[in-house]
Structure 1
């Protein structure tokens, strides 16, 4: 929507998502109870619509080029309780209730390591 002004997008009350050139928005899944960041993924218009329709987090898989329901194969769904929108509407924060680990590795969060010197160290706890 090129006819939308920055002021309308940044200060208004209309939901006017700003998808990038590939038609994607960043979506950050955050545990609604602990506020821990669980994962970062992308949503296209279809994933956003399905998420709002069903209350379950849907994403766009860039590697497979298609819609992806988080938990479809693992059973580890993310139940969306609230969707927050950043100031210029190009990123979303999904406040979710996770039903199991969020990461495909089995870790609670995809952010289970930190930079330690020149390598990575697992975060315990």
Structure 2
């Protein structure tokens, strides 16, 4: 599971927020389906080389947002079941994934047409994302 999650300790964004945002994105894109079991707090913390309290805070915020739930015997899982309807005003993961993927493909195509390499495109995206956080 950590293949999709990383923490940049040099970022201005706190590590718990990086984890929260990445897991929320994976859920929104449908990469993490309802019922998918997440790693334990200790396991993810060890894999990322951070304190368990950092992961626990990210999980707590995801749970408060209704994206995940902690079940005693089953651990922490993505909330909902495959048959659940989305809450009002929340688009289906497939439509979000499609729209985001289309936007990313357009961004890459335009950037390459303008002569930017992958590193430059990532730097621009990271700058814009950090501006959104503040």
Which TM-score bucket, shorter chain as reference? under 0.3
Structure number with higher strand proportion: 1
| TM-score when normalising by structure 2 | 0.24
| TM-score when normalising by structure 1 | 0.25
